[in-house]
């Protein structure tokens, strides 16, 4: 009986040890599961960060392209205004030149007429 009790006590002790080991295994499994979950969340966060960074880079490129297009359009507008102003000035210069020549022609014609009257 003493042996039976001893064996029973040893069996109970082994059961307790086994239960403790199982408990630690459950804790380790839970820890491993949590670690995997955190790893997955971290990977998802990194992927999302990369996507957002890519979107940010694309938007910066679009902004730079738009700024260049705006600057080019302003440059073209400035060139068009400069060309217009130059054409207008040139037109005015020709107009004044025409008026001066017309006046000179009228003056010469009057002189010619006066001379013809004098010499006839």
- Reported as a single tens digit per residue, the pLDDT across 41-88 is 999 999 999 999 999 999 999 999 999 999 999 999 999 999 999 999
- Reference 99, options 110, 107, 88; nearest CA is 107
- Domain, as residue range, for 29: 1-120
Answer yes or no: is pLDDT of 1 > 90. no
Domain count, the chain: 1
CA distance 37 to 31: 10
CA distance 12 to 20: 12
Q: What is the pLDDT of residue 63?
A: 98
Could you tell me how many residues make up the chain? 120
Helix, strand or coil, per DSSP, at residue 120:
coil
């Amino acid at each position: 009986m003493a042996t039976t009790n001893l064996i029973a006590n040893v069996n109970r002790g082994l059961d307790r040890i086994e239960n403790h080991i199982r408990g630690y295994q459950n804790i380790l499994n839970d820890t491993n599961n949590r670690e995997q979950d955190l790893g997955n969340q971290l990977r998802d966060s990194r992927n999302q960060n990369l996507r957002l960074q890519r979107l940010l880079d694309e938007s910066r490129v679009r902004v730079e392209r738009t700024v260049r297009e705006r600057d080019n359009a302003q440059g073209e507008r400035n060139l068009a205004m400069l060309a217009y102003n130059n054409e207008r000035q040139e037109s005015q210069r020709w107009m004044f030149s025409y008026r001066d020549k017309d006046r000179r022609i009228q003056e010469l014609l009057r002189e010619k007429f006066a001379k013809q009257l004098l010499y006839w």
